[in-house]
Structure 1
Amino acid sequence: QLHSDQDKGDGSLKYILSGDGAGTLFIIDEKTGDIHATRRIDREEKAFYTLRAQAINRRTLRPVEPESEFVIKIHDINDNEPTFPEEIYTATVPEMSVVGTSVVQVTATDADDPSYGNSARIIYSILQGQPYFSVEPETGIIRTALPNMNRENREQYQVVIQAKDMGGQMGGLSGTTTVNITLTDVNDNPPRFPQSKLHLTVVLWDQRSQPLHTAFTLSLEHRILKYMERYLFQFITTCLNDDSFIPPLDYETRRLYTLKVEAENTHVDPRFYYLGPFKDTAIVKISVEDVDEPPIFSRSSYLFEVHEDIELGTIIGTVMARDPDSASSPIRFSLDRHTDLDRIFNIHSGNGSIYTSKPLDREISQWHNLSIIASEINNPKDTTRVPVYVRILDVNDNAPQFAVFYDTFVCENARAGQLIQTISAVDKDDPLGGQKFFFSLAAVNPNFTVQDNEDNTARILTRRNGFSRHEISTYLLPVVISDNDYPIQSSTGTLTIRVCACDSRGNMQSCSAEALLLPAGLSTGALVAILLCIIILLVIVVLFAALKRQRKKEPLILSKEDIRDNIVSYNDEGGGEEDTQAFDIGTLRNPAAIEDKKLRRDIIPETLFVPRRTPSAPDNTDVRDFINQRLKEHDTDPSAPPYDSLATYAYEGNDSIAESLSSLESGTTEGDQNYDYLREWGPRFNKLAEMYGGGESDKDTS
Structure 2
Amino acid sequence: MAMGTFNFHGGATSHKPIALCRTDNIHTLEEVTTHNPPTRNNDHHAFAQVSTHLRLKSDSDKKDGSIKYILSGEGAGNIFIMEENSGKIFVLKKLDREEKSFYTLRAQAINRLTGVPIETESEFVIKIQDINDNKPKFIHGPYVAEVPEMSPIGTYVIQVTAVDYDDPATGNNARLVYSILQGQPQFSIEIKSGIIRVASQIDRETKDRYNVIVQVQDMIGNAGALSATATVTIHVSDINDNAPKFQQKSYDMSIIESASIGEIVGVVLADDIDVGKNAEITYSIEERGGHFSMFNIITDNITQEGIVTLNKLVDFERGIRRYHIQVRAENKYKSELNDTATIRVYVVDVDEPPVFLRKEYYMEILENATVGSYVGTVTAKDPDITNNIIRYGILPNEYSRSFEIYSNNGSIIISKPLDRETEPWHNFTITATEAQNLALVSVVEVYIRVIDVNDHPPELQNEYDIYVCEKTKAGEHVQTISAFDKDPVIDHQFYYMIPPEEISDANFTLMDNTDNTATILTLRDGYSLQENPIYYLTVIISDNGIPSLSSTTTLTIQVCDCGTNNDKESCRKNFFWIFLNSGAFIAISVFSIVLLALAVIVHIKCKKSPTHFNKKGEDLKENIVKYDDEGGGEEDTEAFDITGLRHQTVMREHKRKRTIRTDIQSMYRLSLGLGPDVTIFREYLSEKLEEADTDPYSFPPDSLHTYAYEGTGSTAGSLSSLESSALDSNQCLKFDQG
- Both structures adopt the same fold (TM-score exceeding 0.5): yes
**Structure 2 vs 1, CA of residues 460 and 582 (structure 1 numbering), >3 Å: closer, same or farther?**
closer
Q: 1:201 aligns with which of 226, 234, 253?
A: 253
Report 1:580-591 matches (<5 A). none
Q: Once the 2 structures are TM-superposed, how far is the Cα of residue 552 of structure 1 from its aligned partner?
A: 2.2
Q: Once the 2 structures are TM-superposed, how far is the Cα of residue 436 of structure 1 from its aligned partner?
A: 3.1
Taking the aligned partners of 1:381 and 1:475, their CA distance within structure 2 comes to 75
Q: Once the 2 structures are TM-superposed, how far is the Cα of residue 490 of structure 1 from its aligned partner?
A: 0.6
**Structure 2 vs 1, CA of residues 156 and 420 (structure 1 numbering), >3 Å: closer, same or farther?**
closer
**Structure 2 vs 1, CA of residues 342 and 363 (structure 1 numbering), >3 Å: closer, same or farther?**
same
Q: Once the 2 structures are TM-superposed, how far is the Cα of residue 200 of structure 1 from its aligned partner?
A: 1.2
Q: Once the 2 structures are TM-superposed, how far is the Cα of residue 481 of structure 1 from its aligned partner?
A: 0.6
Taking the aligned partners of 1:257 and 1:130, their CA distance within structure 2 comes to 56
SS of the aligned residue for 2:268 comes to coil
Aligned residue in 2 for 1:222: 289
Q: Once the 2 structures are TM-superposed, how far is the Cα of residue 318 of structure 1 from its aligned partner?
A: 4.9
Q: Once the 2 structures are TM-superposed, how far is the Cα of residue 110 of structure 1 from its aligned partner?
A: 2.0
Q: Once the 2 structures are TM-superposed, how far is the Cα of residue 479 of structure 1 from its aligned partner?
A: 1.2
**Structure 2 vs 1, CA of residues 462 and 584 (structure 1 numbering), >3 Å: closer, same or farther?**
closer
Aligned residue in 2 for 1:309: 368
Aligned residue in 2 for 1:172: 226
Taking the aligned partners of 1:452 and 1:543, their CA distance within structure 2 comes to 62
SS of the aligned residue for 2:577 comes to coil
Q: 1:482 aligns with which of 516, 532, 542?
A: 542
Q: Once the 2 structures are TM-superposed, how far is the Cα of residue 177 of structure 1 from its aligned partner?
A: 0.5
Deviation string 1:475-514 (CA, Å, 9 cap, x unpaired) is 332211101111111111111123445556645699xxxx
Q: 1:497 aligns with which of 557, 560, 585?
A: 557
Taking the aligned partners of 2:342 and 2:573, their CA distance within structure 1 comes to 103
Q: 1:404 aligns with which of 462, 465, 471?
A: 462
Aligned residue in 2 for 1:105: 158
Aligned residue in 2 for 1:628: none
Equivalent pair of 1:125/1:163 in contact (CA under 8 Å): yes
Aligned residue in 2 for 1:158: 210
Runs of 5+ in structure 1 lacking a partner? 227-231, 239-244, 270-276, 565-577, 590-702
What letter corresponds to residue 109 of structure 1 in structure 2?
A: A
**Structure 2 vs 1, CA of residues 218 and 520 (structure 1 numbering), >3 Å: closer, same or farther?**
closer
Deviation string 1:347-370 (CA, Å, 9 cap, x unpaired) is 749566666666554445655666
Task: Determine whether 1:444 maps to 2:502.
Answer: yes
Taking the aligned partners of 2:552 and 2:604, their CA distance within structure 1 comes to 61
Question: Higher mean Cα deviation, 532-541 or 293-302?
Answer: 293-302
Taking the aligned partners of 1:111 and 1:470, their CA distance within structure 2 comes to 132
Q: Once the 2 structures are TM-superposed, how far is the Cα of residue 221 of structure 1 from its aligned partner?
A: 6.2
Deviation string 1:45-85 (CA, Å, 9 cap, x unpaired) is x5546656476989999998568474755736342333263
**Structure 2 vs 1, CA of residues 321 and 52 (structure 1 numbering), >3 Å: closer, same or farther?**
farther
Equivalent pair of 1:84/1:177 in contact (CA under 8 Å): no
Task: Determine whether 1:258 maps to 2:292.
Answer: no
Question: Higher mean Cα deviation, 458-467 or 348-357?
Answer: 348-357
Taking the aligned partners of 2:387 and 2:136, their CA distance within structure 1 comes to 85
Report 1:407-446 matches (<5 A). 407-411=465-469, 416-441=474-499, 443-445=501-503, 446=505
Equivalent pair of 1:334/1:374 in contact (CA under 8 Å): yes
Equivalent pair of 1:102/1:141 in contact (CA under 8 Å): no
**Structure 2 vs 1, CA of residues 457 and 224 (structure 1 numbering), >3 Å: closer, same or farther?**
closer
Aligned residue in 2 for 1:247: 311
Deviation string 1:214-264 (CA, Å, 9 cap, x unpaired) is 7899766637979xxxxx9642389xxxxxx98346353333123567889
Equivalent pair of 2:371/2:414 in contact (CA under 8 Å): yes
Q: Once the 2 structures are TM-superposed, how far is the Cα of residue 107 of structure 1 from its aligned partner?
A: 1.1
Deviation string 1:267-308 (CA, Å, 9 cap, x unpaired) is 999xxxxxxx99987765333445787876545555444444
Report 1:294-443 matches (<5 A). 298-312=357-371, 316-318=375-377, 341=398, 348=405, 360-364=418-422, 366=424, 390-411=448-469, 416-441=474-499, 443=501
Taking the aligned partners of 1:365 and 1:61, their CA distance within structure 2 comes to 135
Aligned residue in 2 for 1:287: 346
Deviation string 1:514-535 (CA, Å, 9 cap, x unpaired) is x8x9649726445434433333
**Structure 2 vs 1, CA of residues 490 and 116 (structure 1 numbering), >3 Å: closer, same or farther?**
farther
Runs of 5+ in structure 2 lacking a partner? 1-53, 272-280, 301-308, 623-649, 661-738
C-alpha RMSD of matched pairs (Å): 5.4
Deviation string 1:569-624 (CA, Å, 9 cap, x unpaired) is xxxxxxxxx9787696679x9xxxxxxxxxxxxxxxxxxxxxxxxxxxxxxxxxxx
**Structure 2 vs 1, CA of residues 259 and 486 (structure 1 numbering), >3 Å: closer, same or farther?**
closer
Equivalent pair of 1:82/1:165 in contact (CA under 8 Å): no
Taking the aligned partners of 2:437 and 2:222, their CA distance within structure 1 comes to 87
Task: Determine whether 1:553 maps to 2:611.
Answer: no
Equivalent pair of 1:52/1:70 in contact (CA under 8 Å): yes
Aligned residue in 2 for 1:644: none
Task: Determine whether 1:541 maps to 2:593.
Answer: no
Equivalent pair of 1:315/1:354 in contact (CA under 8 Å): yes
**Structure 2 vs 1, CA of residues 453 and 159 (structure 1 numbering), >3 Å: closer, same or farther?**
closer
SS of the aligned residue for 2:546 comes to coil
SS of the aligned residue for 2:498 comes to strand
Equivalent pair of 1:83/1:176 in contact (CA under 8 Å): yes
Report 1:602-681 matches (<5 A). none
Aligned residue in 1 for 2:520: 460
Question: Higher mean Cα deviation, 52-61 or 122-131?
Answer: 52-61
Q: Once the 2 structures are TM-superposed, how far is the Cα of residue 174 of structure 1 from its aligned partner?
A: 1.9
Taking the aligned partners of 2:129 and 2:431, their CA distance within structure 1 comes to 97
What letter corresponds to residue 297 of structure 2 in structure 1?
A: F
Taking the aligned partners of 1:78 and 1:110, their CA distance within structure 2 comes to 13
Q: Once the 2 structures are TM-superposed, how far is the Cα of residue 163 of structure 1 from its aligned partner?
A: 1.9
**Structure 2 vs 1, CA of residues 361 and 509 (structure 1 numbering), >3 Å: closer, same or farther?**
closer
SS of the aligned residue for 1:209 comes to strand
SS of the aligned residue for 2:298 comes to coil
Equivalent pair of 2:458/2:494 in contact (CA under 8 Å): no
Task: Determine whether 1:79 maps to 2:134.
Answer: yes
Taking the aligned partners of 1:22 and 1:316, their CA distance within structure 2 comes to 126
Taking the aligned partners of 2:450 and 2:351, their CA distance within structure 1 comes to 38
Equivalent pair of 1:216/1:263 in contact (CA under 8 Å): yes
What letter corresponds to residue 541 of structure 2 in structure 1?
A: I
Percent sequence identity is 30
Aligned residue in 2 for 1:123: 177
Equivalent pair of 2:246/2:269 in contact (CA under 8 Å): no
Q: Once the 2 structures are TM-superposed, how far is the Cα of residue 396 of structure 1 from its aligned partner?
A: 1.9
SS of the aligned residue for 2:540 comes to strand
What letter corresponds to residue 490 of structure 1 in structure 2?
A: S
What letter corresponds to residue 215 of structure 2 in structure 1?
A: A
Q: Once the 2 structures are TM-superposed, how far is the Cα of residue 206 of structure 1 from its aligned partner?
A: 1.8
Taking the aligned partners of 1:126 and 1:388, their CA distance within structure 2 comes to 85
SS of the aligned residue for 2:346 comes to strand
Q: Once the 2 structures are TM-superposed, how far is the Cα of residue 550 of structure 1 from its aligned partner?
A: 2.2
Equivalent pair of 2:467/2:557 in contact (CA under 8 Å): yes
The aligned length equals: 539
Equivalent pair of 1:345/1:356 in contact (CA under 8 Å): yes
Task: Determine whether 1:17 maps to 2:81.
Answer: no
Q: Once the 2 structures are TM-superposed, how far is the Cα of residue 435 of structure 1 from its aligned partner?
A: 3.0
Taking the aligned partners of 2:115 and 2:459, their CA distance within structure 1 comes to 134
